Amino acid sequence: MTLEAAIVSDINTKLMRKFAFNTTVVTNSLAADKNLEVHVTVTQTLLPDALTPELQNIWGPEEVNSMITRADFHTTLVPYPGPGKAVLVSVHAPDKRKAFNTCTGACKGAILVGVVVAAGMIVTTLVVLFCICCRCAT
């Protein structure tokens, strides 16, 4: 069994909920330098024949990471005993805030509306001030 297959097997063992979900674990990248770094994508889809589908909960990234952290990675560690016991150092969840930094079409439209409203308010204020000043002069 390859290292990649062993990691996927260990993660699947911890995340598998055969009664309600089809869980897929895909290895995106695998790099070994001083430490082993593995990037995986976990996808969960509700099975059409699941009992009480309205009560089933698809785990979010935090829950999935918590479950992965609790895995013992026995299949992964057996062929690679090394000088000491290998341990899971960390699990990283993608930062949700990064997705909000990009300005989509709706965002650009809202900015345009804001600029037009602000410009209209400035023009209206200048016209009102001009009218007030002209009436005061006469």
Instruction: Note the pLDDT tens digit of each residue in 100-137.
Output: 556 777 788 889 999 999 999 999 999 999 888 887 65
pLDDT at 70: 84
Indicate the Cα dihedral angle 108, 113, 119, 125, nearest 10°: -150
Q: Which residue has the higher pLDDT, 67 or 136?
A: 67
How many CB atoms are located within 10 Å of the residue 7 CB? 20
pLDDT at 125: 94
pLDDT at 117: 96
Q: Which residue has the higher pLDDT, 119 or 22?
A: 119
Classify residue 60 as left (phi > 0), alpha (psi -120 to 50) or beta: beta
Please provide the average confidence, as pLDDT, over all residues in the chain.
Answer: 81
Least Cα distance to 21 among 41, 47, 42, 57 occurs for: 47
Give percent of the chain above pLDDT 70.
Answer: 81
